[in-house]
Amino acid sequence: MAKDIGHFIGGKSVAGTSGRTGDVFNPTTGEVSGQVALASKLEMEAAIENAAAAFPGWAGTSPVARARVMFKFKQLVEENMDELAALLSSEHGKIIADSKGSIIRGLEVVEFACGIPHLLKGDFSDSVSSGIDMYSMRQPLGVVAGITPFNFPAMVPMWMFAVAVACGNCFILKPSEKDPSVPLRLGELLVEAGAPPGVMNVVNGDKEAVDTLLTDPRIQAISFVGSTPIAQYVYATGTANGKRVQAMGGAKNHMIVMPDADMEQAADALIGSGYGSAGERCMAVSVAVPVGDEAADALLERLLPKVEALKVGPSTDPDADFGPLVTAQHRDKVKGYVDLGIEEGADLLVDGRDFTMQGYENGFFMGGCLFDNVKPEMRIYQEEIFGPVLSVVRAPDFEEATRLPSDHAFGNGVAIFTRDGDSARDFANRVQVGMVGVNVPIPVPMAFHTFGGWKQSAFGDTNQHGPEGVRFYTKIKTVTSRWPTGIRSGAEFTIPTLK
C-alpha cells in the first residue's frame, strides 16, 4: 500500500493540506510506493513563519552549542546509515553501496560544520589609531532555503543545511518530490540531535512551493542544485526579490585521455564515473576525449568489453554496478537521446536501450550505451543526457582536447589522464572549467574546499560548502571601538584619519 508523505514543520511531521499530491515510485519495480503532498503557498508560509520564530533563539545560541548539535547529528546519521541507504535506494534506484557513499560525502560537510566555532572567528586589529581597536564578526542571515535535486536526496541537502544551521540560520528544505523520504528523515534526526523546533523544516512541493521561497521577503538566501534552465530561473527570480542566491545547473563533464595515459586505468575510470548511479550525477563523466586516433583505438579496445560487461540490477543487489533510472519518463528521455545520436551520425558501439531485468520487467532499467565519433555540433554532445550514455569525441591534439571543455556551454567538472606533469599542469591552468581532476575522474572537492562550476553550470558568486559556504550563509559586521580614556574633547568635522 502506498504511504502518505507529508512535511516536517516546526519540529514535527505534518500532513499536507493542499489536496495536491504526486506519485513516488520504486524504480526497481515500477510500482507507486507513496503519495507525496505538494505544499500550497500557505503551507510554505507556515514553515517560514516557524523558522522566523525560531531564528532569534538559535542565532543567540553559542557556536560551540551549535557545533555539539552537529556532532550529535553526525552520530545519529551514522547509527541510522542502513535505514537511510535502503530508503534512499528504494525511491531513487541507486545501489545500496552508492547510497551509503553519497550519505558519507554529505556527512563530510557535517564534519566540516562541526568546526563552526573556528570558522566564525573574525579578525581583530588593536590600536588602528590612537586608542581605537577594530574587529569583524560573521553573523547569520536569518531564514534561508535550499532546493535540492532527485539524484542526491541526502548528500546535497547536507551540503546546504549543515553549514547554514551551524552558522546560526534557520533552514527551509524543499527536496525533490521524486524521492522525499530521506530528506524528511534527516530533518527528524537534526531535531533529535538537539536543534530546536523550527530550525530545520522540510516542505515537499512543486513550482508553487519554490516560487513562495523565491518571493517571500523573510527568506534571505537560497541555494539550488538542478538543471540549468531552472537554475537560471531561480537565480533571476531570487535576486530580483533581493535574495542572495547560489544556483548550480547542468554539466557535460569531459575526461581527456592523453596518449601516454595508462589506458586500463583510464578505461576503468570512465566505467565508474560514466555509468555509476546510472549516469545520474552532475559530476558524471559523459564525454571521453582521447587525443589521437591511436590513443582512441587503444582506449576503446579496453573500454568496449567493460561496457558490454556492465551488470545492471535491482538497487538491493550487492553485485550490481548500477540500478534503474529514477522514473520511466526520465528513462525514456535518455533513450530518446540515444535515438537522436544515431540520427546525428554517431556510431553506437554498445546499445543498452532494450535492456530488461528478469523479474523486474516493470522497473525503469536501461543498459549502458557507448558512442564513438561524436562531433561537437551534435546535440548529444551539447546537451546533458543524465543517464548511462558515454560519448567518445576524438581530438587530434592536446590543443583541441583543451579547447573542447573550455568552449562548451557547461563548465562543471573535467579530468585529464596522463603521466606527463607538464601537460597536466598546463591543462589545469588553462581549461575553463570550475573543478579539475588530474588522474581523478570525478573531481568533487572535499568538504573543507568548495564545490562549484563555471559558465552555464553555476549562477551566483559563491560556491557550495567549505569556506565559501560559510561566507554565503553569513554577513560580516565590522566594529570600530574607542573607550573614554582615548577620546579627545571637541567636535571633529573632517573625516577621521589614522593618528
Fold of 3-249+457-479: Aldehyde Dehydrogenase; Chain A, domain 1 (3.40.605)
Superfamily of structural domain 253-438: Aldehyde Dehydrogenase; Chain A, domain 2 (3.40.309.10)
Dihedral of the CA atoms 156, 157, 161, 163 (nearest 10)? -20
Q: Between 96-113 and 63-79, two packed helices, what is the crossing angle to 10 degrees?
A: 170
- Give the catalytic positions in this structure: 282
Enumerate the domain spans of the chain: 3-249+457-479, 253-438
* Three-class secondary structure of residue 70 per DSSP: helix
pLDDT score at 499: 61
Q: What is the mean pLDDT of residues 332-340?
A: 98
Q: Where would I find the beta strands (DSSP E) of 151-275?
A: 170-174, 200-202, 219-225, 244-248, 253-257
Report the percentage of the chain scoring pLDDT > 70. Answer: 98
Q: Can you give the pLDDT at residue 492?
A: 74
pLDDT digits (tens, 9 = 90+) for 469-479: 999 999 999 99
One-letter identity of residue 296: A
CA distance 40 to 390: 40
Measuring CA to CA, which residue among 382, 403, 400, 401 is closest to residue 391?
A: 382
Q: What is the pLDDT of residue 69?
A: 98
Average pLDDT value for residue range 438-458: 94
Cα–Cα distance, 341 to 456 (Å, whole number): 23
Residue 2's pLDDT is: 84
Closest by CA to 418, choosing from 255, 301, 300, is 255
pLDDT value at position 488?
61
What number is the average pLDDT over the span 112-122? 97
Tell whether the model's pLDDT for residue 232 goes beyond 80.
yes
Give the residue from 91, 13, 4, 38 showing the smallest Cα distance to 210: 38
What is the distance between the alpha carbons of residues 118 and 110, in angstroms, rounded to a whole number?
14
pTM value? 0.95
Q: What is the pLDDT of residue 491?
A: 75
Q: With 70 as the cut, is the pLDDT of residue 382 above it?
A: yes
- 3-state DSSP call for residue 110? helix
Q: Rounded to whole angstroms, what are the CA distances from 18 to 15, 41, 164, 208? A: 10, 9, 29, 11
Q: Note the pLDDT tens digit of each residue in 284-323.
A: 999 999 999 999 999 999 999 999 999 999 999 999 999 9
Please state the rounded mean pLDDT for residues 155-177: 98
Report pLDDT digits (tens) over 384-411.
999 999 999 999 999 999 999 999 999 9
Decide if pLDDT at 485 tops 90.
no
Tell me the mean pLDDT in the region 235-259. 98
pLDDT of residue 498: 61
Cα–Cα distance, 455 to 407 (Å, whole number): 10
- Please provide the average confidence, as pLDDT, over all residues in the chain: 96
pLDDT score for 484: 74
What's the confidence (pLDDT) of residue 402?
Answer: 98
C-alpha closest to that of 213 among 181, 165, 245: 245
Confidence of residue 113 (pLDDT cuts 50, 70, 90): very high
Taking only the tens place, the pLDDT of each residue in 250-279 is 999 999 999 999 999 999 999 999 999 999
- The pLDDT confidence band at residue 489, using thresholds 50, 70 and 90, is low
pLDDT at 487 over 70: no
CA distance 413 to 282: 9
Mean pLDDT within 362-381: 98
Q: Does the structure show a pLDDT above 70 at 127?
A: yes
Q: What pLDDT score was predicted for residue 202? A: 98
Give 465-471 contacts, CB < 8 A, sequence gap 24+: 465/109, 465/112, 465/159, 465/162, 465/163, 466/112, 467/119, 469/109, 469/159, 469/163, 469/164, 470/116, 470/119, 470/120, 470/138, 470/163, 470/167, 471/138
